[in-house]
Amino acid sequence: MGLYLIDLRVLGISSFGGTSLCGKPLPDCDGVPGNIVVPSTPNGGGEAKRKKLSGGAIAGIVIGSIVGLLMILMILMFLCRKKSSSKLRSIDFASVKQQEMEIQGEKPIVEVENGGGYGNGYSAAAAATVGNGKGVDLNSGDAKKLMFFGKASRVFDLEDLLRASAEVLGKGTFGTAYKAVLEMGTVVAVKRLRDVTISEREFREKIETVGSMDHENLVPLRAYYYSRDEKLLVYDYMSMGSLSALLHGNRGGGRTPLNWEIRSCIALGAARGIEYLHSQGPNVSHGNIKSSNILLTQSHDARVSDFGLSCLVGPPSTPNRVAGYRAPEVTDPGKVSQKADVYSFGVLLLELLTGKPPAHALLNEEGVDLPRWVQSIVREEWTSEVFDLELLRYQNAEEEMVQLLQLGIDCAAQFPDNRPAMSEVTRRIDELCRSSLPEDSQPEPQ
Ligand SMILES: Nc1ncnc2c1ncn2[C@@H]1O[C@H](COP(=O)(O)OP(=O)(O)OP(=O)(O)O)[C@@H](O)[C@H]1O
């Protein structure tokens, strides 16, 4: 918008005939000589001055409106982007939702005894319980619900899970793990399995066994979902993450050192969890023991996760993932004996004490694995050199640290028969944990 000024003095008097204008070349206004002015109202020159100012004001208003409009547009664009990003986060579960809609109208095989109320967390009182206490009808091939285990509370359903905001925790051997925050505030870990090659019936039978495992040092499997294209497992979310992250994360700085007391407690908790699994039968093993499968509660209690999954999925596409933990005799990752679990646990103990990730140890100058590297140092009687620097300040627990190191070496023996059973491993860790406690905090003998 332009503002054009025309010098009206160049025009002749006749050009202003019939107007109420005054000033040169017309007679002066009220006797005051001056330039010609163009009144916008019949009121005269004073009003004209005001009109000139209001032109500026109009320009200001126009500019202000444009700026305002632009700001509203920007706010709208920002809101749209925010909405689409939260959609993106849950996009991975979208295909499940599609299937859920396809099967709508089918008879649910889970009967809810107590209504469908939601509680906070897994509170049994607040929640409805699964009808038969098992949650699964093995004769029915059409169950497309979230199936809960045992006495677990049914505090949410598939719809809630699909609505939850999801964040990828990591990709593992069996699929991708997500942290899902449900609208009611419950946080769960969801594992989306890939490469499940067994039949639905077989899957249900095997997952039932996994779901029936109940021990304070295991990450409880709460529920699962099975359909043609999606297999989901729902676990408790462990807020402190994995031992691997705690041990190897943030080494550069800003990290809280892991003291001996915490490390020995983690070793004991993990050993107890694995011992429990082994006590379920001579052929029951974990099959994938490593530090990223030892998860921690807020108070650093260890919980073993991922048990029983190797029999659900096909051979891993990345066979070297467990390199460093796998016992030398294991050729088929789907068939891991209890003694092979003991080997992996031995490597985990050495990792806990040295602070070295076993896979990296493969790349060290000598090209040896962690157990052989530790053994070579111990043979040279440089034992104290082997420990993580963060542990060296605990001089008073050095004897127990050496005992735990020896246990790690025993567990990682080349020949399976030379390895101790998990019950023996737990007993030895328990003993050394007790002896490293200060005198006044020793538990009463039972
Ligand atoms: N219940 C859980 N709570 C918190 N974090 C978890 C939970 N389950 C898994 N994670 C974390 O998610 C990440 C991916 O886990 P996932 O088990 O899929 O793979 P992995 O442990 O790296 O390998 P693998 O599949 O061979 O066990 C890991 O960092 C793991 O510690």
Q: What is the ipTM of this complex?
A: 0.96
3 state DSSP class of 300: coil
CA-nearest residue for atom 14, ligand 1, is 170
Q: Tell me, using a 6 A CB cutoff, whether residue 242 lines ligand 1.
A: yes
Q: Where are the alpha helices (DSSP H) in 362-397?
A: 370-379, 383-386
Q: List per-residue pLDDT tens for the chain, 446 residues long.
A: 444 444 555 555 555 555 555 566 666 655 444 444 444 444 444 444 455 567 888 888 889 899 989 999 988 887 766 554 443 344 455 555 554 444 443 322 222 222 332 233 332 222 222 233 333 333 344 446 888 886 656 778 888 888 898 999 998 888 899 999 998 888 999 999 987 878 889 999 989 889 989 999 999 999 999 888 889 999 999 999 999 999 998 766 667 788 999 999 999 999 999 999 999 999 999 999 999 999 999 999 999 999 988 777 766 555 444 678 999 999 887 788 999 999 999 999 999 999 998 876 555 556 678 999 899 888 887 778 899 988 888 778 889 999 999 999 999 999 999 999 999 999 999 999 988 776 655 555 54
Q: Which residues contact 201 (CB under 8 A, 6 or more apart)?
A: 138, 141
Write the CA distances from 393 to 28, 382, 407, integer angstroms: 101, 17, 21
Q: Tell me, using a 6 A CB cutoff, whether residue 194 lines ligand 1.
A: no
CA of 238 to the centre of ligand 1 (A): 10
Amino acid 14: pLDDT:
59
Amino acid 78: pLDDT:
78
CATH fold match for the domains 93-236 and 243-441: no
Please give the Cα distance from 340 to 330 (Å, whole number).
7
CA-nearest residue for atom 2, ligand 1, is 237
**Residues 327 and 416 sit within 8 Å (Cβ to Cβ):** yes
Q: Where are the alpha helices (DSSP H) in 220-259?
A: 243-248
CA of 128 to the centre of ligand 1 (A): 29
Identify the helix (H) or strand (E) that includes residue 294: strand 294-296
Answer CATH for 93-236 from 3.40.50.2000, 3.40.50.720, 3.30.200.20, 3.20.20.140: 3.30.200.20
b/e per residue 249-282 (b: at least 16 CB within 10 A)? eeeeeeeeebebebbbbbbbbbbbbbbbbbeeee
Please give the Cα distance from 93 to 225 (Å, whole number).
12
The superfamily CATH assigns to domain 243-441 is Transferase(Phosphotransferase) domain 1 (1.10.510.10)
Question: Which structure tokens are listed for 359?
Answer: 């896979």
CA-nearest residue for atom 24, ligand 1, is 172
Q: Which of 191, 238, 242, 322 to probe ligand 1 with, by most ligand atoms within 8 A of CB?
A: 242
> Which atom of ligand 1 is found nearest the CA of 242?
31
Q: Tell me, using a 6 A CB cutoff, whether residue 177 lines ligand 1.
A: yes
Amino acid 132: pLDDT:
34
Compute how many other C-beta atoms are within 10 angstroms of the C-beta atom of residue 99: 15
Amino acid 377: pLDDT:
87
Q: Where are the domains of the chain?
A: 93-236, 243-441
Compute how many other C-beta atoms are within 10 angstroms of the C-beta atom of residue 91: 10
